[in-house]
Every structure is written in C-alpha cells, then in structure tokens.
Structure 1
Amino acid sequence: MIQKQEVRSGARANYATKLPFLYLFEKKEEKPMTGSWRNIRYSRRVLLQSAAKTALTALALGTVAPALVGCEQVRLPGMAQKKTLVYWAHTFPPAVDYVTKTLIPEWQQKRPDIEIKYETVPHSDFEKKLLTALAAGTGPDMYQTWDPNVPLYVKNKRMAPVIPEAFGYKTQEELIKAFMPGSLKAFIIEGKLYGVPLEYNTLSLWYRSDIYREVGLDPNNPPKTWDQLGEYAAKCTVREGEKMVRAGFQWPWKSNIWYMITFVPIVRQAGGDLVDATGTRSQANTEPVQRAMQIYADMVFKYKAADPAFVIENDFANGRWVSQISGIYFMPAVLKQNPKLKYGENFRVGQLPQIEGGKPSTILYAWLWTVNPASKLQREAWEWISFMSEHGAGWFKNVGYIQPRLGWLDSPEAKENPALPVFLEDFKYGEYLPRTVVYQEMETLLGQAIERVIMQKIPIKDSLQTLHEELTKALQRAG
C-alpha cells in the first residue's frame, strides 16, 4: 500500500521511494523571472502539462476521486490515455465467472486502452441502487435491466440509443438484421433502438418422462393443449387421503414476475392482452383474461393436480413435481440438484401448451444491455456490448443464456444441447410482455388477482374487475 508522506526540503529521495513516479514532478531550480507577471505568457502545452501534473499528484495522494461515469485515468505526457468503463450487473455466479475470467481478459488484449470495471449487485438490491445512481446523474457507463423497464427508462432519459457503428454496421436496420427476427422489437421506442439482449428467453413445458412412462403416458408425446396438460397432470398426481405427495403440475406460486410470464401467453392465445396496444388502457376484465384465469384455476380445482401449499425444495429433480413451465436454463439446475437424472430417460421438454383453436403464442422476455446517457464513453460502451454479444456459444455453454445475435446456433455448443430445438420452435410464436410505463404496478396487481382466485377462492370475474379498476387508476396516475 502506498503511504502518504509529507514533503519537506531535502526529503525528495524518500518521497520518490514511496511514490516512484513523482520524481518527474520535482521542482527544478530556475532563474528568477524578470518583468511584470502580467506580461508572462504561458503556452497551451505548459498549461496542460501543469494541469496533468497537479491532477496526477492529487490522485496519488488520494485527494481526488475520479467520477464513476466515463472514468479516464490520467497518464503521464507521452503515454496513451487509458479509459475506464464502468459496467453494472446483477449477481449471477455463472455470468460473473464468465465475464471476469474469459470476456474481460480477451477484451483487454483486444482493447488495452479501455479498462472494464465490472461491478455486481445482488438481484434484490440491483434496481434500487441503479435507479438511485441514474437519478443522481452518475451511475455506471452501461448496465443491464429487465426488458419491461424500457418504456419507463426511456421516458425518464435513463437509456441512450444504440450506436450501430459500434457493432460494425452503418445503420440501425442493418444491426437489427444481425439478430433473431423480432428479438429487438421490445427495445425500439419511437424508431430508436435502446439495447440488445444478454439473456433472451422463452418458456416451454418440462416434464418427468420417467413418471409419464410409469403411469402409462407416452414419454415422447407431451401435452399440446392446456386441457391435455390438466388430464396428464391429474394422472400423475398422488395423494394420501387429502394430502398431496406428488403434484402432477405446478404454477410458479408467490412470484409476481413468474405469474406474469406464464399468464400473459394464455391471455394472448385467447385473443387478448392485459392492456391495449398503446399501453394506456386496461383490458383486465375482458373475456380472454377470464379464460386464462380459468385455466390457471382449473389446474388446482378441476384437475386437482396443483397446490400452492405443496412446495418442496428441488421438487422436480426429486420427482415430487411432475411438470412445470421454465426456460432452457432449467436443465443444468435440475442436473445439479440430482446428477443421477438423464435428459430423455428421466425428463424432457415439450413446447408450451396452447388453447385448442386459439392463436399460437408464447412469451419472450429478456435482460438487456444498455448505456447510460450521462456516460462520456457511450461509443466505447456499445463497443464492449458488441464484443460480449459476439460470444453467443460461450454464454450458452458457460452461463446457460440464449443470445439472439445470429451466428452461434451452428456451433457445437448449440448442437449438443437436446432441449434447444424445442425452445427455438417456441421462439417463433413469442411476444414480449405488454409495454406500459406502469409495468411494475401491473405485475403486482396481476399477482394479487391470481392469489385472490386460487388462495382466497374469490370468483374470477370479481377478482379481475378489481384488477381492472386498480390498473386503470395506475394508468391514469401515469398520465
């Protein structure tokens, strides 16, 4: 650790030992100046060199801290200036390992002039810390965020438009064509693109093929409709008296975000949505929403295959849940929980069930990279994002993320994953969550509506009317 030491006459040797580079700034003995000080003219070079010396000395002594956004480290004259790019992300250990151990070292070899300062925050605290920093006009140069936040963040000037040239393209249209069709649609506001996904997801139906086989179901033929799923799940459910010991299916209980991403596709299959296309009017009490809520309730009350009270750790991996909806990242989690399981023999994935005769629809959701408009290094930030998005095979192999930038689906990592073709098929029918500036409130209100029906046994129409009224008030407050 560098120690501070007071500078006195005759002590320069000791000072230079503690701070080796400061000998360059030792004062040389000069001849007395003559003439009026008003006639002394300092050249631009002298002034800049003097400022650089002063700044570097202050930094060395700890008296000046660089700003968080767009940090530029001071360098001695003749040395290339090194820039520091600050990147914030929520904590996810596989992603942290991949970024720190692989991507940053590769980037530093390619761009030694730009240092990456990678900071992670626990998921539960991430948004609060990020919004506080952005509101203060500081925060990181770039960050990741949940895709429904885009309309509100753009409205509040928290996101900067993408610079296509940083990705190697002349226009935004060319850049969009480099990604899976429709994957960037949710990040375009008034014709401008504000981010690209680091994690691009859809949901499909995971089921225990060994238990299907056990109860006489074809393990290679998963249910295609919600009614079929209910029937299959009922056949797989086991009770001892009134006590459930194996659930044939489970919804993602007590998680508002998961309620949203599993409920909305059913509404759309029925031909509706929670809000209109402008995101300003509630449609929560319409027939398609009622039909989706009925499907949610039927798994509990009609087929008696799901129960919010029956929640056990590692339940799917240990065979106490037979089927559930999740993403492609579910497979490595299951294998970690129960290494004895084998894909195909013990569990498989099928496409998301649909309403018979309805409109095919699945969900799209993403975490995206974007840039802080307050950053002085916006071009460099988008270049770093472009670099990270070029490593789709590495993200998939090491983290389990699907990235929509084209080019990696022919890689060995993609071809070796037996579940990927199912998810790629479901992507074709995917739609992002409703776009509205009151998304967070809508998510909470939907969760409350579902739990009123399932846990309090409130009639569906009554619960949805309450949802409609509360959502309408939220939209009116937002203007």
Structure 2
Amino acid sequence: MNPDGTNNPQTPADPGPTRDDLTPSNIYYQQDPQQMVSTPEPLPTPKEVVSPPVVSLAEPEPVLEEAVLPKRSFPVKKILIIILAVLAVLGVALLLTRFTSKKTGTVSKETTITWWGLWDEEQVVKPLIDEYQAQNPKVKVVYVRNSSKDYRERLTNALAKGTGPDIFRIHATWLPMFVKEVSPVPESVMSPADMTANYYPSLAFFSLKDSFAGVPMVYDGLQMFVNEDIFEKAGATPPKTWFELRDTAKTLTKVENGIITQAGVGLGEVSNVDHWQDIVGLMLLQNRVDLNNLADTKAEDVFKFWAMFSKNYGVWDKSLPSSTAYFASGKLAIYFGPSWRALNIEELNPKLKFKAVALPQLPKASPTDPDVAYASYWIESVWERSPNKDVAWNFVKFISSRESLEKLYQNASQVRGMGSAYPYVDMAGKLVDQPILGPLVADAPNAKMWYLVSRTFDGTTGINSQISKYFEDGINSI
C-alpha cells in the first residue's frame, strides 16, 4: 500500500504563529501525585458482550490554556447515537446467534474451502497451504487476495447472497457489522480460557457471548517513529510523555519566512495527518475519557490539545504533505503510524534512518501504573452458514498455530522485508530485538481497542468511517 497523499508543500495565505510567537505552554497544570487515585478498569471476560472500554489511569487532570481556541460545539450527540445504535444491533445479534462449539472432525470427503485474505501475497501463504493439503489430501484451499477497495461492502454482499467465502479476514472492530455471519471459535480450535491466556488483552474487543468471533494471525497497533538523524543532530532524546513530546517537537521544528521547513511532529490536523484516528483514540483512552460520554470535559481537553499542535505550537500545518510522505522525505522528526508503515517509508526512502520507540504517556500516580497503547488488527473468521464450516475451522487452527505463524513471518520477511508481529503473548520474545516490532509487542499487553481507527476500508456506511467522520467534523470545528 502507498502512503496517503503526496502533494508538495504550498505557502499558506496565513502562515500562523512561528515558534517565537508562541507563549510558554501550560497545557496541563501539574498536581500532587499523592492526591491522585489509580483505578484501572478490569478487562472484560470472554463471556461478556464487550462495549467500548473505559480506561482509567491515574494522571493529572488536564487543564488547557484559556482563550486560545474558539469555543465551538463538538457533535457528541451524533457520535453517541452511532455508538448506541451499534451496541443495540450487537446485543440483538448476539441473542440471535447460535453459540455452538462443534468439533472440527476428520475430513472424510473431497472438500474445497475458500479463504479471502487482504494483505498477504500468495507466495507468503502458499507454502503453508501446500503443507496443510499434504496433511489433508482431500481438502483443497483456495486463497483469494482481495483489494482493500470496497472490501467490506463486497464481503457483506457476498455473505448476504449466500456466496461468501468459508474463511474471511475482518477488522477486529467490525464485529457489530458481521456478528450474525461469524461462527464462534469452537472448543476444538481453542477454548475461550486458552484464547484469553494466549493472546493480548485487546482480544476481548471481539468476544461473543460464549466464545470469540475469530482468531488473530497478526498483531498491530499505533507506534511512534523518530528520525534518528534529526534527533542526533539536535542532541535530543525520544520523548516519553506528551509534555516532553510537545516541547521536543517545538525545539525540532524549523520555520523560514513563516513556512515550516522541518516539522517537529505530525499532529494537529486531520486532513494530512495519517492515522489521526488512532492517535486521538490513544489520547482519549490515556486521558481516562468515558467513551460512552464524550461530553466529558476530559474529551474536550484532548481535542483542544490535539488542535494546539497546529494552531498554537506551530509544529505542523495544513500546507504540508501527508505525515507519512513528509516523514519519508526526512523532514519530519516524529511520526505516528502502525508497524506496516515502516515498509512504506523504507520503500520511499531506503536511506532514511528511523526507529520505533515506546508511545508517549501521561503522568502517572505511581511508576507501576500501566501504560496505555492502541491496538488495531485483523482476525480470521469462519462463515456461520458455510457448508464446510468444520473443515474451515480445522484449517484456521493449523494456519494460526505458533509453528505456522513463524513460517509465515519468515516467508513475509523474504517477500517484503518484514513480517507481522505475532499475536501470541509467549512469542513476543522472538521479536524483542526487531527494531520495529520489538517496541510494538512491548506495548501490546497494555493496548486497548475502539472503533475510532484508520484505514480499515469499511466504506462510507461502515462503523469506523462513520465515527471517524463525526470526530473529524468535531475536531475541525475547534
């Protein structure tokens, strides 16, 4: 996939404030940590219907600068209507879904199963398919690599017509849209208790009443990347908190004649900041926002803080190219994106020296309080109405095993330079020294997930697109 946007910088009509025009930042007032209480929310169990998680971490209450940004209304009611409607549909669908756990059984007749994938090239998965077919000579597996364009709509239509694939890949946040079409993971593949123990906690987001909606073959989430040359030249170190990030970004930004020639960080705009949804989602969760109550002042603080990077701190603006393209050009110090963006960046600029580092956090009452990261990944689901459901699950069990995932990682590394992170907790050690995936899996145990995510290609009527649109309109109104 190519990065979004490649337009060249244009001179803005009003370049806005330069770094010298900015007042000393007091984005948050510090509080005595002894007065703060840490109340992290327990993870939901697989038997619960998972609604958007509420994260509670101890940190100072954010108080933003007064009279800096115009006061406008954020479309909270519209967003809440979407969320409540989705949850209502999910609740009804869960009651209607048959939560059976059939055993996968032995294949006793000639069977052909179709597997719809997205990102994996055929040469990555074919050796594993060949291995499975050698072990199960009566089974033929047909892999179809789909384009991301209109994928969710095409999959929805195929399933509705009764012509859908036996196995298909969906984003973990798509459960409300597919809950009546997915077959719960059978006990013979993996029990709910084992899935909870084996995979990262964000797995709970696609749990069903008695099981899960699918099995992950990969793990991914938001990461922070830094340009090593820019940091080394300035004698700077990667920021560990949002306050440090703000100050570091201002220091590393270069402005000539009112035009940014080197940006400190790609934040503050939605038009040219790739993956802004994930970044804002991370900020909301870290700031202990109740995602069922976006009228909370904590949510407003997040939106204002986001906007200040462009409107007040002068480290980014609308005239710049997409954050991915600008980082690849070597002119952006700090960039946020998922792990797979590293491949895009290396392709655009093989000589760029960059690395992934831990995500910035808000201050904590205690060093032992957990960090908060943001997950976004895909799962393999089996069609509930597939005539070959048992065989399909048998193949998913094989292809998602630890042994198979290691082979897939090696195949992907040979084809495109890097594989995907393993979803199994006990496989994190295999990636600890990998410069991109090491920091990702280090953050994974503390990662949460929500519907505000980027590049799921769910179409204009999809849950991610609808929620993103309302957040975009709201942020732009600030």
Instruction: Confirm or deny a common fold (TM above 0.5).
Output: yes
Query: Take 2:426 and 2:247, find their aligned partners in 1: how far apart are those partners?
Result: 40
**Equivalent residues of 1:205, 1:349 under 8 A apart:** yes
The equivalences for 1:460-479 within 5 A come to: none
1:332 is the counterpart of 2:349: no
- Classify the secondary structure of the residue corresponding to 2:219: strand
Are residues 1:86 and 2:114 paired?
A: yes
CA distance in 2, matches of 1:325, 1:373: 37
The alignment partner of 1:212 has SS state of helix
Q: Return closer, same or farther for 1:356/1:201 CA change in 2, 3 Å cut-off.
A: same
Q: Which residue of 1 aligns with 2:319?
A: 309
Q: For residue 140 of structure 1, what is the aligned residue in structure 2?
A: 165
Q: How does 1:140-289 map to 2 (within 5 A)?
A: 140-154=165-179, 157-165=180-188, 167=189, 169=190, 171-177=191-197, 179-218=198-237, 222-251=238-267, 253-254=270-271, 258-275=275-292, 283-289=293-299
Write out per-residue CA displacement over residues 338-393 of structure 1, whole angstroms, 9 at most, x where no aligned residue.
2224xxxx322221112234873211121110011110111211121122212233
Per-residue deviation at 1:98? 0.6
Q: Note if contact 1:328-1:423 (Cα within 8 Å) is conserved in structure 2.
A: yes
TM-score normalised over the length of structure 2 = 0.67
Q: How many residues align?
A: 349
Using the aligned pairs only, state the percent identity.
22
Q: Which structure carries more helix by proportion?
A: 1
Cα distance between partner residues in 1 of 2:425 and 2:166? 26
2:334 maps to what in 1? Answer: 323
Mind listing any 5+ residue stretches in structure 2 that lack a counterpart?
A: 1-107, 413-417, 454-461
Question: Is the Cα–Cα contact under 8 Å of residues 274 and 337 in structure 2 kept in the other structure?
Answer: no
Q: Deviations over 1:162-183 (max 9, x none)?
A: 1121x3x5x3323433x22414
Question: Structure 1 residues 228, 365: CA separation in 2 closer, same or farther (over 3 Å shift)?
Answer: same
Identify the residue that residue 33 of structure 1 maps to in structure 2: none
How far is 1:434 from its partner?
4.8
Partner of 1:39: none
Letter in 2 for 1:229: L
Of structures 1 and 2, the one scoring higher in RCO (CA 8 A, sep 6+) is 2
Contact map agreement 2:167 2:382 (CA 8 A) in 1: yes
Contact 2:200–2:444 (Cα < 8 Å) also in 1: no
2: CA distance, partners of 1:88 / 1:377: 15
Residue 250 of structure 1, CA deviation: 0.8
Determine if contact 1:151/1:435 at 8 Å carries over to the other structure. no
Query: CA 1:256–1:131 in structure 2 vs 1: closer, same or farther (change >3 Å)?
Result: farther
Q: Quick check: 2:241–2:362 contact (8 Å CA) kept in 1?
A: yes
Q: 1:402 aligns with which of 403, 421, 426?
A: 421
> What amino acid sits opposite 2:257 in the alignment?
G
Q: What CA distance in whole angstroms lies between the structure 1 residues aligned with 2:315 and 2:432?
A: 35
For the residue of structure 2 that corresponds to 1:213, the secondary structure is: helix
Where do residues 375-454 of structure 1 align in structure 2 (5 Å cutoff)?
375-390=386-401, 391-397=404-410, 398=412, 400-406=419-425, 408-411=427-430, 414=431, 416-434=433-451, 438-450=463-475, 452=476
Q: Is the 8 A contact 1:372 1:378 kept in 2?
A: yes
Within 2, Cα distance between the matches of 1:107 and 1:257? 38
Per-residue deviation at 1:330? 3.0
Q: CA deviation at 1:229?
A: 0.9
Unaligned 5+ segments in structure 1 are 1-79, 276-282, 453-457, 460-479
Query: Quick one: distance in 1 between partners of 2:215 and 2:131?
Result: 21
1:323 aligned counterpart, secondary structure = strand
Opposite residue 259 of structure 2, the aligned amino acid is: K
Cα RMSD of the aligned pairs, angstroms, is 2.6
C-alpha distance 172-396 of structure 1, shift in aligned 2 (>3 A): same
Q: Deviations for 1:7-28, whole angstroms, at most 9, x for unmatched residues?
A: xxxxxxxxxxxxxxxxxxxxxx
Q: What is the DSSP-based 3-state SS (H/G/I as helix, E as strand, rest coil) of the residue aligned with 1:244?
A: strand
8 A Cα contact 1:141 1:378, kept in partner: yes
Inter-partner Cα distance in structure 1 for 2:391 and 2:439 = 37
* Cα 1:245–1:286 shift into 2, 3 Å: same
Distance 2:203 2:163 in 1: 27
User: What secondary structure does 1:314 align onto?
Assistant: helix
